[in-house]
Amino acid sequence: MKTYKISIWLMVSLVAVMLAMPVSSGAEVYKLGLSLAITGPTSDAGNPYAKGVEDYFRYVNDMKLLGKDTIDCTIRDDKYETAITKRNFEEYLDMGIVFYLNYSTGSTLGLKRDFEEVKMPVIPASFHAGNLEESNYIFLPIASYSAQAIGLAEYVVKNHNGKTPKVALFVHPSAFGRGPVDDVKKSVAAGLGMEIVEVVEHGKDLDNTAMLQRFKSKGVQYVISQTVQSPVAVMLNDASRLGLVAKTFGEKGKITFLGCHYTGGNDLIALAGDAAENFYWTTSYIITSEPGVGTDAQLALAKRYGRDDKAANSHNYANGVMVAQVAAEVIKRAKTRGKEVTKETLYEELLAMNGMNAFYPVTTVGPVTYSKDDHQGVDTLQLYAVDKGQFKSVGTPFIPEYTGKIK
Amino acid sequence: MSVNRWLATGNYFTTYKEEQRIFYTSLDRIFCVFFLTTLFIWPFFMELDSKDMLVIDNILVAVIAILGLNLVTGFAGLISVGHAAFVGVGAYTVACLSRIIGDQHVLITHAWPLMIMFSGFVGAIFGGIVGLPALRLKHLYLVMATLSFQMIFEWTIGFMDFFNQGQTIFVGRVFWFTGQVGRKEHYLFWYYALLVVVVLCGFAVRNLLRTRYGRCLVAVRDNDRAADAMGMHPGFTKVYAFALAGFFAGIAGAMHAYLYRGVGMESFTLHESIQYLAMTIVGGLGSLTGSFFGPAAIKILDLQVENLAEWAVTFLPSGMNLATALRPLSFGLVIVLFLIFEPRGIANWWRILRSYVKLWPFRY
Amino acid sequence: MSYFFQLVVSGIVVGSIYALSAIGFVLIYKSSRVLNLAHGQIIATGAFITYSLTVTAHIPIYLSFLMSMIITFFLAMSVEKIFLRRLIGEPIISVIMVTIGLMSIIDGLIYLTPFGSENFSFPPFLPQQPIVYAGISISYTQLVGVIITFILIGLFSWFFKKSTVGISMRAVSDDQLASMSIGVSVPRVFGLAWATAGLSAAAAGSVIGNITGLNFSTLHAFGIIVFPVVILGGLDSLLGAVVAGIIMGLIQQFASGYLDGNFGLYGTAQVLPYILLLVLLLFKPHGLFGTHEIERV
């Protein structure tokens, strides 16, 4: 009964609020929704991500980038629980959102069918390749974890001296971590010249000595990790204690550590300290330790909205800004073409985002392209490595070759 | 019975039989019938958003689970910190079948009431097995046994490919006499289904407590050695209690699976187990009405705090941190305040209110 | 063979950190029969205090380590005074639930600070090179962790065996009523138990923080990780906590060293302690060193 009463009160108050709102003349408000983990697991990534999304939409509204129209993006915490994400999503649907931003791998996979049913274009913060299976409405912002892992593997193969490189995969015990494993294995089967010695799923380990010693005895020279920063930091600390970290790429008898998007960034350096030195990391985002036009823009945006240094310099802040940019861009394009902004037209705009229509956000190392068969936004990746406590670019942006070969 | 059955001002029980009635007065019965009717017919008069409907459904799922937890923790006095795992057992029963025979199989989409019952029994079996240490263990050591089960459950689901390693396993849309239950009426449909189950479970628990076994439970909770001396078997009583709790949890799990149309690990973690315990405490340990109040209170509190936090963000500079902090903070405060100031939970307020009404116009 | 010994050494290191985290648990249980589920949060708080003192207030790390232990000592004491004092004599579930509530409250408070969702690490203050002996390596951080653990355990054992306060704490744990009648202040003993537990938690937090870096969810998970340890050792035995901690550390290291990656298994180190625990509970319910409760009707 209590629920019922409170629901009535909620409705009444909602109606009151709606009536109280000034009726603006002709200016439209486009509703968007973002549900992500601001508390709970992975909140260290979710927090700056949310700030990035929030700041960019504020910027769009403040700068009147959409003319009189504004974007109203509701951001909700889901504590990394799919059930709460679902609740948030249902609420956003009730609000009448035209575009949805999601976060975790688990919830993206869990809500896949809902996205299909309501035909809602979605950009998740999870780059899991499995998100795209049996799904038409999910768009990854950048290359999938699989592509990232394969990219790293290709780099290993190209730059390795000597016999077939022996590689171990160090992954998170979830779909998020396991996703790329199969694809890397497929690439090896398709002719990528390396040997996968072992796939390790980590837990909450205090000490990885056993694992690292085992790697050493099996002759593993490279560890590609697909997880979050904290376990990587523990592993790096142990490796540096055991004197196993390679000083240069592929050093003989030592191990070179590499990782995908969520393993790296300033958080890793904050956690692992000096042990992070010479850690190779790939992502499609620009980072602030490599100054450029994009990073200037990112820092200016963060400064404008009073964010602290930590958030401003986070690659996940760039991550959040970028998905907001894509969302704002498709709304803008739909408007310029004189179409009504609905989830259908935004979906069409996303699909048309290729060729001459590709979108260049300044926060990534390459253009965002989507089409009917390509739901991965930025296909190019950039390799970074830690040098004196900062991530620095290694080489130029590249596109992994084997992603196409294993399809 | 000499007194007026409509307006009894005070208790006039002369036999135990009278005390064991489901409804003490006719007013009680009328009120209950009226209340249930309202629950069944209100959706005809007003339409709620899907989200609100989902929240209500979610509360009802929790009510079923809490009915079970209250049996084992409230009535039998055995603390279980693995209740979410039992709910998970129920949910994964449906998920497993959907994995084996496909999520659109007739058994899943048409025979869902059967599936729900079946999940209940699977839950009961697991409950009984985990309860086995109760034959030897007491107090905290038993808490540890349930905690171990929770951990082993989480690991098994996360480890095995068969369970999709904890990622969502889909469960198809169900069919009713009118055809497939579509997206629009999904939450309303499950509201009714859940309501029926809740009412059945509620009466089942109420009746259980009137039986010899129900009194056994309470006796064992209050003093198991004394109960032993009186000829009850405390060990088996506890094992049965676990099995019963597992049964309710299994049903709740299966309903959860159908409601969310998928089963994922996140809904059955240790964190959820703790939430269930909190609901039981806030509702009132060892009280049937408490099992209804607790989930409603905790879930609504969570939503309200979220709204509050969102509102606070509009005028606080670094609001984001405050918003995230507010939820655990309020959750913790509610539990602690309840324990300190109202250890018998909301159910006690309800009891006071009832006595007040009963004695009216005299002073309580 | 050096692989085996490396595992042994690592197991002992990990195990003694478990033991250090478990002491706080045991201390509280030993004197007040309360299972403190918020222990992980107190560990995290201790680590964060040490970090803030070192980095923000620029106090040398050894000093801030001690100061953080003292601060947490008083914090835990006041927590006991505010929340748990009122529940003396209430059923056990209420007390457990209060600690769960406490857990959420501390969570909330930590989310108010940057520590809630950001990552930090202690500035390096020990030599980065490991000590290597016959192919077996151990880092200074780990070594210091082990040493601190044993110093603290020694201190606490002495405290309980010899000092008047310690003996009164043991008396209270044995029989509250009887100890009250001979003039022991039960509330004061409870307060002290929490305070010492807080102290040991701060030590544990700082040691763990040095190894894993400061990440809130990693740190507070230790409140749960140590459960099997305390149960294995028997809830109320300090020696039990140490022995069980080391046993658990060794089991985990051997599991991940020999089982993982060999028989299609992985992550066994995470679940093995719980399986062991469940089996142990069936055969030896009071753990290795726990006291048997004798109940009279």
Q: Assess if residue C12 is contained within a domain.
A: yes
Domain range for C18: 2-224
In a mutagenesis test of the C interface, which of B80, B138, B144 is the best target, namely the one with the most C β-carbons within 10 Å?
B144
Residue A22 has pLDDT above 50, yes or no: no
The stretches of A352-398 forming alpha helices (DSSP H) are none
Q: Is A270 within 8 Å of C121 when comparing Cβ atoms?
A: yes
Question: Using H for helix, E for strand and C for coil, what is the string for B133-191?
Answer: HHHCCCHHHHHHHHHHHHHHHHHHHHHCHHHHHHCCEECCCCEECCEECCCCCHHHHHH
- Give the end-to-end CA distance of chain B in Å, rounded to a whole number: 24
pLDDT at position B343: 84
- The more confidently predicted of residues B98 and B6 is B98
Does C284 reside within a domain?
no
- Among C35, C231, C271, beta carbon nearest to B151: C271
Q: Are B191 and B56 in contact (CB under 8 A)?
A: yes
Per the domain annotation, does C26 fall within a domain?
Answer: yes
Report the residue from B51, B170, B323 with minimal CB separation from A113: B170
A354: pLDDT confidence band, cut at 50, 70 and 90? confident
Q: Does B246 touch chain A (CB under 8 A)?
A: no
Q: Cα separation of B72 and B143, whole Å?
A: 12
Residues A267-292, mean pLDDT to the nearest whole number: 87
Question: Chains that contact C by 3+ CB pairs under 8 Å?
Answer: A, B
Query: Residue range A48-67: average pLDDT?
Result: 90
Residue C256 lies in a domain: no
Collapsing DSSP to helix, strand or coil, C251 comes out as: helix
**C120 touches A at CB < 8 Å:** yes
Q: Does the CB of A135 have a partner CB in chain B at under 8 Å?
A: no
Residue from A82, A118, A119, A308 to probe the interface with B (highest B Cβ count within 10 Å):
A82
Q: What dihedral angle (degrees, nearest 10) is formed by the CA atoms of A206, A210, A216, A221?
A: -40
Given a cut of 90, whether residue B89 has pLDDT beyond it is yes
Question: CA A249 to CA B73: how far, in whole Å?
Answer: 58
In angstroms, the Cα distances linking C207 to A126, C65, C147, C148, C241 are 33, 9, 11, 9, 17
Which residue does chain B place closest to A92, by CA atoms? B51
Contacts of A391 by beta carbon, 8 Å cutoff, 6+ apart: A264, A265, A266, A269, A281, A287, A289, A290, A384, A385
By C-alpha distance, which of A103, A53, A63 is closest to A322? A53
Task: Give the per-residue pLDDT at A234.
Answer: 85
Assign B70 a pLDDT band (cuts: 50, 70, 90).
very high
- Across the interface, of B136, B229, B330, the residue whose CB is closest to C282 is B136
User: Chain B, 318-347: which have a CB under 8 Å from a chain C CB?
Assistant: 321-322, 324-336, 339-340, 343
> Which chain B residues are within 8 Å of C278, Cβ to Cβ?
133, 145, 148-149, 152
- Strands B262-263, B169-170: pairing is antiparallel
Answer whether C204's CB lies under 8 Å from C20's CB. yes
pLDDT in tens, C223-259: 888 888 888 888 778 888 889 999 888 988 888 777 7
Tell whether C118 is within 8 A of chain B (Cβ): no
Q: In the structure encoding, which two tokens stand for residue B54, read together?
A: 């989902």
Q: Using the predicted structure, report yes or no on whether residue A64 has a pLDDT greater than 80.
A: yes
Of B329, B330, B339, the CB nearest to C109: B329
CA distance A85 to A76: 9
Residue type, B280: T
Q: Would you place residue C265 in the very low, low, confident or very high pLDDT band (cuts 50, 70, 90)?
A: low
Indicate yes or no: pTM above 0.90. Answer: no
Contact with chain A for residue C101, Cβ under 8 A: no
Structure confidence at residue A13 (pLDDT): 61
Residue C286 lies in a domain: no
> With an 8 Å Cβ cutoff, are B320 and A118 in contact?
no
Using alpha carbons, list the distances in angstroms from residue C263 to A61, A167, A178, A198, C266: 57, 19, 18, 12, 8
Task: Kindly list the residues of chain A whose beta carbon comes within 8 Å of any beta carbon in chain C.
Answer: 38-41, 43-44, 46-47, 173, 198-207, 209-211, 213-214, 217, 229-230, 233-234, 237, 240-243, 267, 270-274, 308, 310
DSSP string computed for C39-101: HHHHHHHHHHHHHIIIIIS---HHHHHHHHHHHHHHHHHHHIIIIIGGGTTS-HHHHHHHHHH
Instruction: Report the number of distinct structural domains present in chain C.
Output: 1
Q: In chain C, what percentage of residues exceed pLDDT 90?
A: 11
**Residue A386: is its pLDDT beyond 60?**
yes
Q: Measured between beta carbons, which residues in chain A are less than 8 angstroms from residue C260?
A: 200, 210-211
As given in the structure block, the two tokens for residue B201 are 């479970």
Cβ within 8 Å of B, C 186-245: 224, 227-228, 231, 235
Q: How far apart are CA C11 and CA A209, in angstroms?
A: 9
- Read off the tokens for A328: 């704002």
**Domain annotation covers residue C84:** yes
Per the CB < 8 Å rule, is A91 touching B51?
Answer: yes
CA distance C263 to chain B (A): 14
> Which segment of A276-285, B21-30, B195-204 scores lowest on mean pLDDT?
B21-30
Interchain contact, A39 vs C218, CB within 8 Å: no
Interface mutation vs chain B, best among A80, A88, A174, most B CBs within 10 Å: A174
Q: Select from B155, C130, C118 the least CA-distant residue to A229.
A: C118
pLDDT, chain B, mean: 86
Phi, psi of A169 (to 5 degrees): -105, 135
Asked whether the predicted pLDDT for residue B2 surpasses 50, the reply is: no
A7 in B contact zone (CB under 8 Å): yes
pLDDT of B7 over the 70 cut? no
Q: Are A244 and A234 in contact (CB under 8 A)?
A: no
Cβ-based contacts of A40 with chain C (< 8 Å): 217
Q: Does C17 touch chain A (CB under 8 A)?
A: yes
Tens of pLDDT along B311-363?
777 666 554 567 677 888 888 998 888 888 888 888 888 888 887 877 777 76
CA distance, residue B24 to nearest chain C CA (Å): 30
Is residue A402 predicted with pLDDT exceeding 90?
Answer: no
**pLDDT for residue A7:** 59
For B24-33, B52-61, B69-78, C53-62, which range has the lowest pLDDT when averaged over its residues? B24-33
| Interchain contact, B327 vs A80, CB within 8 Å | no
* Cβ-contact C221, A204 below 8 angstroms: yes
Report the C-alpha gap between C242 and B24 in whole angstroms: 57
How far apart CA A138 and CA A152 sit, in angstroms, is 25
CB atoms inside a 10 Å sphere around CB B11: 12
Distance CA C76, CA B45 (A): 54
Average pLDDT over residues C6-19: 87
Q: Inform me whether the pLDDT recorded for A252 exceeds 70.
A: yes
Task: Give percent of chain B above pLDDT 70.
Answer: 93
Structural domains in chain A, CATH included, are 26-143+292-374 (3.40.50.2300), 145-283+382-405 (3.40.50.2300)
Binning pLDDT at 50, 70 and 90, where does residue A23 land?
A: very low
What single-letter DSSP state applies at residue A255? B
